[in-house]
Amino acid sequence: MYSTLLFLHSITRWFVLLSLVYSIFLALRGYFMDARFSKTDNAVRHWTATISHVQLIIGVILYIKSPIIKFFYTNHELAKQNEEVSFFGEIHITLMLISVVLITIGSALAKRRTTDREKFKTMLLWFSIALLIILIAIPWPFSPLASRPYIRNI
């Protein structure tokens, strides 16, 4: 089951990034072109939030079951000295939770805005901040704190 969740996690993380980038693109285009907030724009807004929620659920399950996290909590002082363990034990989970909260708030606020321009602006602002936080929290292969390959072999 753990390997299945890792596989799902590695797929859905790319869906989160792609849907966020696409949502931001639509919001930029709609805002600056003073476009109508279409059913497609609304669906992309909704699915971006939904995909991030699915990723959150998978991520929390993996977090709870992770041997790195178990080590982090059972040997906290020792684990804090290891940058990778500390990254996954504190930084990654905190920033990813914040980003999902921002996506959720941005999606809900955009849905409730009265004008199309306000909807696009709200989506653009909240989703862009969330994307920036996600990009900071990703354990890139070149990161000095923690590195993972772009696609994990399971």
Average pLDDT, the chain: 91
Residue 154 lies in a domain: no
Task: Please report whether residue 148 resides in a domain.
Answer: no
pTM of the model: 0.90
| Residue 100 confidence (pLDDT) | 98
98: in domain = yes
How many Å apart are CA 84 and CA 76, to the nearest integer? 13
- DSSP conformation class of 88: I
CA 153-68-136 angle, 5° bins: 75
Q: For 56-83, what is each residue's pLDDT tens digit? A: 999 999 999 988 889 889 988 888 888 8
Tens digit of each residue's pLDDT (9 = 90 or more) over 85-125: 888 899 999 999 999 999 999 999 999 999 999 999 999 99
3-state per-residue secondary structure call for 113-125: CCCHHHHHHHHHH
Res 122: pLDDT: 98
Q: Which SS3 state, helix, strand or coil, does residue 139 take?
A: coil
Q: What gap in Å lies between CA 127 and CA 23, rounded to an integer?
A: 8
Which domain range does residue 40 map to? 2-137
Q: Quick one: pLDDT band at residue 136, thresholds 50, 70, 90?
A: very high
**How many independent structural domains does the chain possess?**
1
Distances (CA, A) of 139 to 6, 29, 31, 77, 134: 15, 30, 32, 22, 10
Q: Is residue 34 part of a domain?
A: yes
Q: Is 97 inside a domain boundary?
A: yes
What's CA 146's distance to the chain center, in Å? 17
The conformation of residue 87, written as its DSSP 8-state character, comes to I
- Centre a 10 Å sphere on the Cβ of residue 154 and count the other Cβ atoms it contains: 11
Does pLDDT of 154 surpass 60?
A: no
